[in-house]
Amino acid sequence: MAICLINSSHVHCVQLCQILVVEREKVAQTKRLKLSLVTTAVYFFHDYSRVTFDYCTCYQGRGENVFISLIPPMTFDIEEGRQKSTMPPSPSPSPGSRNALGTVDIVVLVVYFLLVLAVGFWSMCRTKRSTVDGYFLAGKNMTWWPVGASLFASNIGSGHFIGLAGSGAAAGIGAIAYEWNGILMLLLLGWLFVPIYIASGVKTMPEYLQRRFGGRRTQLFIAVLSLFIYIFTKISVDMYAGALFIQLALQWDIYLAVVVLLSITALYTVAGGLAAVIYTDAVQTVIMLAGALTLMGFSFAEVGGWDALMDGYLNAIPSIRVPNSTCGIPRDDSFHIFRDPVTSDLPWPGVIIGMSIPSMWYWCSDQVIVQRSLAAKSLTHAKGGSLMAAYLKFLPFFIIMLPGMISRILYTGEVRLVTGLMMAVMIAALMSSLTSIFNSASTIFTLDLWKTFRSRASEWELMIVGRVFVLVLVVVSVVWIPVVQASQGGQLYIYIQSISTYLQPPVSIIFLTGCFWKRTNEKGAFWGLAVGLLVGCTRMLLDFIYPAPRCYEEDDRPGVLKDVHYLYFSTLLSFITLGVVVGISLATEQPKPDNRKGGSLFNVSMARGHTRSTIHSLLLNSSDSSSVSSVQSQSRLMSALYWICGMERRKEGVDGPVTCPEQALCSLEEEPRLRLIVNVNLLMCLSATVFVIGYWV
């Protein structure tokens, strides 16, 4: 077997790969693509200059997307930018070759799905799902370990498993800086941002901006922007990676497979709410770690250990490549995360600043992440969850990136048990990330958009809207399938990903100034956000108009594109937004005291020790008295339907309002002993992070 790089925008290698894998749906007529111990790799390349593999070599320039699949050995010649190829004839597929899974593989998958459904059903029995807090915040009663596991699983999706491995194979360990930067951001979330959000008594991040600045336009702006990012970047990326895996590695019918997966996902997401999502995320985390650790063990055993990896990777130069060029040669800085500030793919000043600011948005102010911390039963448990996720973030380097680097050196044989296990890992990664996005997007739509225009909406109406919106997102996910299939070379994937690069820094600055500068007012925040997004969208449009050249081609794009690295642009965009926010805030009136109360770090200490009984709860304000009826008057079928949907009706005479079950749930108070434990772990985690970054600098 050999590894081939597929990208429809390239001249080299692509025609042969398309004949074998893509063009005219000939997958059914070719030899089944075997699933290696080294996972199929996909990666979004911002600025990587070369990717090469034995037998078949393709070259991509800056801003290109690639994906790797496995094909039979071949020979080919490159002549004046054109490819001529010869290959052994593919044998006719045997019956059932499109789904040639062994018995053990099928058992592993069946056990996986049964386990996920069982955990989802169990979580539905534990949580009151008929209230806003119960459905969207898991009753604010989660302990630290499921919170931490869910934070990790929500981040590590199928695109991560596919992408980080491809990054390691293509350009070394540089991209692991994103993972280790996330460790620092997780600690900031637990110790700086979560106390502010708890003191503000909010359920969503757009709601925090409304509480902090007053008015509605900034809240609505961020709510719409968040949904746009979720649908056009996060869901699309996960569906791209999932569809690629199903289509190329498994050769299943993609629509049937995705519909089945999304149906299972929607079942416990719609019925169980955030509690079901968090508990199933914990199970998915165990499965992902088990499979990835197994993959790592087999990979290192096959390559011959760490020293063999170091030597083999740097010497993994293909015999056929473009003459008189560096295309195809491993980078000299492959084992460094801080690289040349001018000529490298990841300049170190950009890694320090330009990478950290968008990362702060993702980890400290994105609803998908913060919602899990807000579901914790106390501030201490929220900190513990951040710590657990931070410790787990050390692992992707070993279990995802290094196996990807090993895949550049060798191709190991197929092992049936590992095939089924890796399939479960990929499906777990896909399902965990999608359920997190579905639930968080539903929360924003229901509480920030629907509630704004339907201020008198009852509790039941909000619950129905939230569940229906999840189903809408499921349909959107299915609709994405033909779109990502049409982008056979991955160009759409790149363009969609670039949206996040140019939208995140302004949002990060708004939350940063809102949390840590009391003088920030609504006008400064709104116009800073508007100007920042305008500048970012301008750069994004230029990227669309002037695509990046391939590695061996001359770069004739405008200077703002070819001379300003995207990480440097992120830094510049952040300073532009910050300048507008500070300038307008100082030039206009100060924010009202009510808007600053509990909305910044300086007000958190005032809230410690006080009961957060004033936290807004739609349950306490529910006026849906007409829906209360006698349980005895319901048929068993309707009662079961209400229970599955989490729409339990209360008995007559039973009080509707339900208060917090624990004082700690509504308080910033921490038990001294537990606070000491988490603070000691904070120092340990920080020390470990500084060590690994310093070691690989």
pLDDT value of position 13: 37
Contact in structure between 203 and 191 (CB atoms under 8 Å) = no
Q: How many CA atoms lie within 13 A of 489 on its CB side?
A: 16
Contact in structure between 166 and 44 (CB atoms under 8 Å) = no
Higher pLDDT, 445 or 102: 445
Distance of CA 343 to the CA centre of its chain: 29
Helix (H) or strand (E) holding 198, with range, is helix 194-200
Q: How far apart are CA 316 and CA 50, in angstroms?
A: 13
511-569 tens-digit pLDDT:
999 999 989 999 999 999 999 999 999 998 888 788 777 766 788 888 888 888 888 99
Choose the weakest-confidence range: 330-344, 433-447, 505-519, 577-591.
330-344
Residue 318 pLDDT > 70, yes or no? no
Residue 671 pLDDT > 80, yes or no? yes
Long-range contacts for 84-92 (Cβ within 8 Å, ≥24 apart)?
85/15, 85/16, 87/16, 90/20, 90/29, 90/30, 90/31, 91/31
Q: How far apart are CA 463 and CA 129, in angstroms?
A: 9
pLDDT value of position 196: 92
pLDDT value of position 194: 94
Distance of CA 55 to the CA centre of its chain: 33
Contact in structure between 234 and 430 (CB atoms under 8 Å) = no
pLDDT value of position 447: 94
Contact in structure between 17 and 6 (CB atoms under 8 Å) = yes
Q: What is the SS3 assignment for 78?
A: strand
Q: What are the CA-CA distances from residue 233 to residues 22, 264, 279, 503, 567 (Å)?
A: 24, 22, 25, 11, 19
Residue 602 pLDDT > 70, yes or no? no
Q: How far apart are CA 216 and CA 581, in angstroms?
A: 18
Choose the weakest-confidence range: 58-62, 391-395, 480-484.
58-62
Q: How far apart are CA 203 and CA 367, in angstroms?
A: 9
Neighbours of 383 (CB within 10 A): 29
Place of tokens 């370990």: 145
Residue 52 pLDDT > 70, yes or no? no
Task: Give the DSSP letter of residue 330.
Answer: P
Cβ neighbours for 522, distance < 8 A, ≥ 6 positions apart: 213, 214, 215, 218, 591, 595
Specify the amino acid at residue 331: R
pLDDT value of position 62: 32
Q: What is the SS3 assignment for 634?
A: coil
> C-alpha dihedral over 170, 175, 179, 180, to 10 degrees?
130
Select from 279, 266, 268, 273 the least CA-distant residue to 135: 273
Q: Are strands 75-79 and 82-86 parallel, antiparallel or unpaired?
A: antiparallel
Q: How far apart are CA 225 and CA 362, in angstroms?
A: 13
Rg, C-alpha atoms of the chain: 26
| Both structure tokens of 37 | 């111990």
Q: How far apart are CA 218 and CA 209, in angstroms?
A: 7
Residue 588 pLDDT > 90, yes or no? yes
Distance of CA 141 to the CA centre of its chain: 24
Helix (H) or strand (E) holding 86, with range, is strand 82-86
Quickly state the pLDDT bin for 103 (edges 50, 70, 90). Answer: confident
Contact in structure between 496 and 232 (CB atoms under 8 Å) = yes
Angle between helices 217-229 and 522-545 (to 10 degrees): 30
List the Cα angle 213/218/219 in 5-degree steps.
90
Instruction: State the chain's mean pLDDT as an integer.
Output: 75
Select from 185, 173, 570 the least CA-distant residue to 339: 173
Q: Is 371 exposed, middle or buried (0-12, 13-18, 19+ CB in 10 A)?
A: buried
| Both structure tokens of 7 | 């990208």
Residue 502 pLDDT > 80, yes or no? yes
Contact in structure between 362 and 369 (CB atoms under 8 Å) = yes
336-382 tens-digit pLDDT:
999 999 888 889 999 999 889 989 999 999 999 999 999 999 999 99
* pTM for this entry: 0.80
Q: What are the CA-CA distances from residue 612 to residues 135, 318, 665 (Å)?
A: 19, 63, 8
> C-alpha dihedral over 304, 308, 309, 312, to 10 degrees?
-120
Q: What is the SS3 assignment for 95?
A: coil
Q: What is the SS3 assignment for 42?
A: strand
Q: How far apart are CA 691 and CA 170, in angstroms?
A: 25
Select from 430, 552, 453 the least CA-distant residue to 58: 552
Q: What are the CA-CA distances from residue 595 to residues 61, 355, 362, 520, 609 (Å)?
A: 49, 31, 24, 10, 21
Q: What is the SS3 assignment for 3?
A: strand
Q: Residue range 245-265: average pLDDT?
A: 77
Q: How far apart are CA 232 and CA 234, in angstroms?
A: 6
Q: How far apart are CA 685 and CA 383, in angstroms?
A: 12
Cβ neighbours for 352, distance < 8 A, ≥ 6 positions apart: none
Residue 605 pLDDT > 70, yes or no? no
The class that CATH gives domain 103-201+220-318+339-485 is mainly alpha
Phi/psi at 2 (nearest 5 deg)? -140, 165
Distance of CA 542 to the CA centre of its chain: 26
Task: Give the DSSP letter of residue 627.
Answer: G
Cross-strand partners of 342: none
Task: Give the DSSP letter of residue 339.
Answer: B
Neighbours of 201 (CB within 10 A): 18
Phi/psi at 66 (nearest 5 deg)? -130, 160
pLDDT value of position 418: 55
Quickly state the pLDDT bin for 17 (edges 50, 70, 90). Answer: very low
Helix (H) or strand (E) holding 6, with range, is strand 2-6
Q: How far apart are CA 68 and CA 85, in angstroms?
A: 19
List the Cα angle 274/278/281 in 5-degree steps.
135
What number of residues does the chain have?
Answer: 697
Q: Residue range 25-52: average pLDDT?
A: 32
Under the phi-then-psi rule, with left for phi > 0, alpha for psi from -120 to 50, and beta for the rest, what region is 324?
Answer: left
Residue 159 pLDDT > 90, yes or no? no
Q: Residue range 461-477: average pLDDT?
A: 90
Range among 238-252, 407-421, 503-517 rated most confident: 503-517
| Both structure tokens of 506 | 């302004």
Alpha helices, H only, 214-355: 217-229, 236-244, 254-303, 306-314, 348-349
Task: Give the DSSP letter of residue 432.
Answer: H
Q: Where are the domains of the chain?
A: 103-201+220-318+339-485
